[in-house]
Structures are given as C-alpha cells and as structure tokens.
Amino acid sequence: MKDFCIISRRGLLSAGISAGGGLLIAASFGGGVLATTALQDQTEPRGETFRPNAYVEIGTDNQIVLTIGKSEMGQGILTGIAQLISDELGCRWEDVRFIQAPAAPEFGFPFNGFMITGGSTSLQTEWQRMREMGATARVMLVQAAANLWGVDASALVVKHGVISHAGGQRATFGELAANAALLPISETPALKPAAERQIIGTSKQRLDTAEKITGQACYGIDVDLPNLLTAVVISPPQLMAPVVSFDGARALERSGVQAVVGISTGVAIVGDHYWAVQSARDDVDIVWGESPFNGIGMDELRAGYQNALLEPGKIAQSIGDTKALEDTVTITREIEQPYLAHACMEPMNFTVSIGDGVAEVWGPTQAQSFVQNTVGQIAGIDPKNVTVHTTFLGGGFGRRSAQDFVAAAAEIALAVARPVKLVYSREDDMQAGYYRPLTLTRATATLDQAGDLAALNVKIAAPSVSKWAGLMFLIREDGVDEQAVEGLVDLPYAIPNANVAWVDHDPGIPVHFWRAVGASHNPFVVETLLDDLARMVGRDPIEFRRRMLVDNPRYLAVLDRLAEVSDWANPAPAGVGRGMAIVGSFESIVAEAVSLRLLDIEVRIDTVDCVIDCGVAVNPAQIEAQMHSSIVFGLSAFLRGNITIDDGTIEQSNFHDYEPLRMHEMPEISVSILQGEDRPGGVGEPG
C-alpha cells in the first residue's frame, strides 16, 4: 500500500503540471479571486503566499486540476463542484482531475471560512463562487489569445478546451496558460447564460468512480504510515460509565500489543495491527464506575418524554390563534420516533501524528475545522498547526462531523508518542456512538366546516442536536434550536392558525446530526396527520394537500408530477395500499408515492415513485442515485431502525439486530427531476 494512501498536492503538481508552466487561479474565502501565478518548471506555484479556497490549475499538457474543499462521502460532491467550474471554464470533461483540499478557512463556506460538508449545502453555497472561478480562468485565457493574435476578445470562441478565431487561429488552453498567467485578473467575470451551459445539467461520469471500482481509492481505514500503530478502544458497557482502574498486563503479553492506555472515554489497546489489538480486548481487566444511566431503560426514558410534553416549551412559530379553536379539536396524534444509528459502512476511524507544536491527521471527516480544533486542544497546539488530510468517506450521514473518534485517536497518539490509527469495530460504533434523538410529538388538528385544515397545534419534546454538536449559531435568539423544529415550522401549506412549541428535553444520551436532521422525523408527523384528516373528510390525500398549496406553484408542480408518474388517478390493485407525502427541505422539494402490501405481519414496499425539484439539476444521474440512496436509507430507518436502551446499555450491536433493507426487499424506484432555473438546492438529504 502506498504510504499515507494520499496523493499530495505537491506530488500532483510535480507529476502533472510542472513540465513547462501553467495557469493557477485561486479564490479567497471572501469570494474574490486572489492571484494568478505562472508555474514555470516548479513543483509549487511561484510566489504563492495564500491558501486558496479552490484552484483552477491548467497545465501545458491541457490537464485541468481542481482543488476541492468538500468531503466526498458517496454523494458525488467532488464531481458536482467540478462541473460548476468546468462548465464556465469551457474545458473538456475528460481533462478534469481533482485533489482534496487541505484544511484552511479559504476552503470553507464563503461567508465564514468554516470547513464542513453537511446540511446538503455544498452546491448551494458554492454555486456562484465556483462558476466565477471557472469564468475568471476562461476570460484570462481568451484575453491571452486575443493579445497573441491581435484580435478582439469578443470575436473568439471557447469550446472543449480550445480557443479559436474565424480567421483560422486556434490554440489549446495549455498553449495559452503561461501567457494568461501574466494578465491582470478579472474580478467580476461574466457568467454564461443558462442556455449556453454544456456540463452543468448533464449526467457526467463521476470523477471518483474509476479509483473506487479498481480499489485504488483511499478511505480512512486504508491509511498507512511509517511507524504507524493501530488502536481500538474499550468503551464502558453502560453509557458514560467512568474507568475506576484497569490492568493491561495480560494484554501486553500478546504478540503485537505495544501499550494499554487510559483515555477520557475508556481504555485503548495499541499495537502493530488491528487483529492483535482487537484480540486482546478480553485480556484487559477494567473496573468500571457507576453509569449515570444505571437502571435506565426505555420505560424510564419514555416517562421523561411524557412529562416533558406537560411543559409549555419555547414557541417556535405562532400564526393566528389556535387557542380560539381548542373546543373544536378534530384529531390528536402522539408520535414517538426512536433513537437511530448512522451505521456507516466504513466504521469510524482516524489517524493522528503529533509532533512538537504541530500535528498531522488523516481520515474520513465531514468537519475539517472541527478536527483542527479538537486535535489542537488535546495536543495543546494552535489549531492552525494541525494539517488535515481528508480521505474518502465510506458514508457520512452527519456521523463523521462528530469528534469522538478524532479526540480518542489524538489522546492515544499523545499517550504513546507514535502515529496511531484508531479503528472502531461495528459494535464500538453502534454501542458507543452518537444517535438521532428519540422524540415525542403531539399534534392536534382542527378542520373547518368546509373540511379544510383550520388549525395545527404541535409540541415536540427533543434534545438539542445543535448544542451537542457545539454549533450554537443554529440556536435562534429566542432559544429555539432550528434543527429541532425543522419540518414543523414554515410549512408550505396555507394554514390560517398554527402553533409550534419545542420542549428542550435532554435525557443525556449522546445525539448528533443524522441524515436530514429534523426533516428526517418532523414531516412524518405532519404528513401522516394530513392523511388522517383526508380520510376523515373522504378526500383523496393529494387533492387534500393541493387545496392548501394553491398559492405555492412550485409545490403544486411537484405534486402534479407525482400524481402523473405514479398513475395516482387509477385505483390500486386489490390488496395493494398506497400512500404519499411531500416535503420541502434544504431548499428542495421531494414528493414520493409508495405502493405496498401486507405479508402476514410484514410490510413489503413494491414501488416508490419520487419527484424532486432541487432547482438547477447539476448532474441528473447523481440526483437520481441520491434519491435511491435516500429512499433505502429512509425505509431502513422507518421499517427496521430502532436503538433501544436497557439498564444504561445499548442493546443493538451490528447489522444482525440493526438491520437495513436487503437487496431482495428493495422496491422498484422511479425518479423524476423537475429542472429549475435559479440555483441548486440540497440533494443528499431531502429524499
């Protein structure tokens, strides 16, 4: 295996661009273009005094190298961002390559420099900036050609990496790159009109496919370094129980075991390879203290949630007057939704090397800025001196923005003074990790005399995921966690009276962002309640919703397409049930219709028809793939997902008792994409 399992930026530049000059375009995290540098027979850009947000690097061999700061966890973001840049640049897709950016503010969000991949925000936040980067490079290349040929720049045509003039002159990007690098930068380049886009909106092949299917892709679990040790952590059998004492003498007698050390969350075994340390788990004698969850099970947790609903809570949204309609309540539903694990296919892992005042880390993370802060705090160094190499992620779903596995790896590396790769087993991840929170929601709906929804009163008891994640900016000034009420407030439906309250009920079980966060559970409450109301008044569920969406044409268009593609107007066959829902989240709208059968006591989903409006559809094939991914993830969670607690212990441990849908159980899925014209919405979570 190649050391580090990382292709460094220096190595790529040396291999691909240094043989004769080139053009480098960089953008600052403030959004403007910073500098341009000729690459003249050197492995690093001459005069580079900044760390760019994203690079356009054009070699004399016509290779386009893009440095991208988002984490690739299967969602295709490296390809999506590359499409934004490449379309404006006007290059050939076959010439595009990418490298993963280092951790630095310039690679973070354009508004604050914070480097994280999540919330289905990547294409939304980079839509303008990345296109401007490509356009800037194109404008400079065109001007270089115009200067060279003595013609007006407006008379030149850019297509597939070639600039040409009606007089017969023709040059490739590579031939013009060195001259273009000497020109002043156009800081406000004109962007192409939508009608001229050739890469945005097309199903381009993913840039990471080849190395993944050939096994060359580097995931965190693949990282190898000189002098590297491997570690596992023994976590407490009951949640958060402290270590009183431990004895690792027997484990140290095993071949390949180098150390047994205590860390803040348990005891780590460190050795030459995974099998050595994993096999030594039972040889470490540990005395555990009392867990704060001793004697706590699901009954106790549920009682706490029921009591929480008796509290008034914080008002998240209030429209009209729901109290005036309390005497005419039509229906009340109380819905509990369980703890869920992220269950990424690649278990949590991270590699840390700590030196004198510096640290270098490798691994699958969604939050490079978090990693720098975590490792810096543990090692006692400036976070800016923590170099982060981001590998591919074997699934993320929010789990890899948590810092438990990063912190543990840093503590172990500090204790043994060697580079350490920490690897969680599946059981470690399932039983000592972070979960989507347990929630309890009570919703009351009132119908008017015409059978339309007149009032909706919702109260949810749930912990604050934002507090657990340390993202306090997601807490509103009135104290409401936006993630807790996501999908309950600002509904698209015309409801004259609505009240949403949140009770910040935190039993202390570790929770974290889980794919779609509040929108993964709150819309279920609203949409099932609407179905119940539709049945009560004898209306079709799509028609019931359509009446409340008359002033919302974008939602209506999605709803109408769903009715069309699902053949909703025709009755379902005997023995087949149907249902639908429509939800807006992350600036996208998704509607789905399912057909299902009841086999004995098991529900079998036969088909799922999906319609999405995500604004500009940058890569339709990837959007379809993400809808498939979301549907299997959501169905697995709904039909099977359940993390339960008994006497402070997580009962589930692996895929045998936290079971996803199997291939033979998957429904037939159809996806229809409505192409928008403004900008992209989220795709990874709304489905």
**Confidence (pLDDT) at 38:** 33
The whole-angstrom separation of Cα 644 and Cα 224 is 36
**Confidence (pLDDT) at 326:** 64
**Confidence (pLDDT) at 33:** 38
Q: What is the DSSP-derived secondary structure letter of residue 687?
A: -
Identify whether the C-beta of residue 533 lies closer than 8 Å to the C-beta of residue 447: yes
Tell me the two tokens of residue 139. 């404008």
Q: Tell me which of 60-64, 75-79, 415-419 is least confident.
A: 60-64
Res 406 pLDDT > 60: yes
Number of other CB atoms surrounding residue 123 within 10 Å: 27
Identify whether the C-beta of residue 177 lies closer than 8 Å to the C-beta of residue 21: yes
**Which residue, 98, 13, 53, 60, is CA-closest to 181?**
60
Tell me the two tokens of residue 108. 């973070």
Average pLDDT over residues 111-138: 93
pLDDT band at 25 (very low <50, low <70, confident <90, very high): low
Instruction: Tokens 């289905």: give the residue.
Output: 120
The whole-angstrom separation of Cα 390 and Cα 635 is 30
pLDDT (tens digit per residue) in 342-353: 999 999 999 999
Average pLDDT over residues 6-32: 42
pLDDT (tens digit per residue) in 502-546: 999 999 999 999 999 999 999 999 999 999 999 999 999 999 999
State the Rg of the chain over Cα: 27
Q: 352 pairs with which residues across the strands?
A: 361, 420
Q: Tell me which of 183-192, 477-486, 596-605, 635-644 is least confident.
A: 183-192
Res 605 pLDDT > 90: yes
The alpha carbon dihedral of 372, 373, 375, 379 has a sign of positive
pLDDT (tens digit per residue) in 214-246: 999 999 999 999 999 999 999 999 999 999 999
Instruction: Tokens 């639908």: give the residue.
Output: 580
Res 317 pLDDT > 70: yes
**Which residue, 674, 568, 564, 560, is CA-closest to 612?**
674
Q: Decide the pairing of beta strands 359-363 and 386-390.
A: parallel
Res 163 pLDDT > 50: yes
Q: Please tell me whether residue 165 adopts helix, strand or coil conformation.
A: strand
Using a pLDDT cut of 70, give the percent of the chain over it.
91
Q: Decide the pairing of beta strands 33-38 and 22-27.
A: antiparallel
Burial 540-576 (b: 16+ CB within 10 A, else e): ebbebbbebbeebeebbbbbbbbbebbebeeeeeeee
Judge residue 88's burial from the number of C-beta atoms within 10 Å of its C-beta, 0-12 exposed, 13-18 middle, 19 or more buried: buried
Number of other CB atoms surrounding residue 445 within 10 Å: 23
The whole-angstrom separation of Cα 252 and Cα 524 is 51
Res 43 pLDDT > 50: no
Res 670 pLDDT > 60: yes
Average pLDDT over residues 623-647: 97
The whole-angstrom separation of Cα 20 and Cα 480 is 57
Res 647 pLDDT > 60: yes
**Confidence (pLDDT) at 60:** 83
pLDDT (tens digit per residue) in 484-497: 999 999 999 999 99
pLDDT band at 106 (very low <50, low <70, confident <90, very high): confident
Average pLDDT over residues 470-490: 96
pTM of the model: 0.92
94: CB partners within 8 A, 6+ apart: none
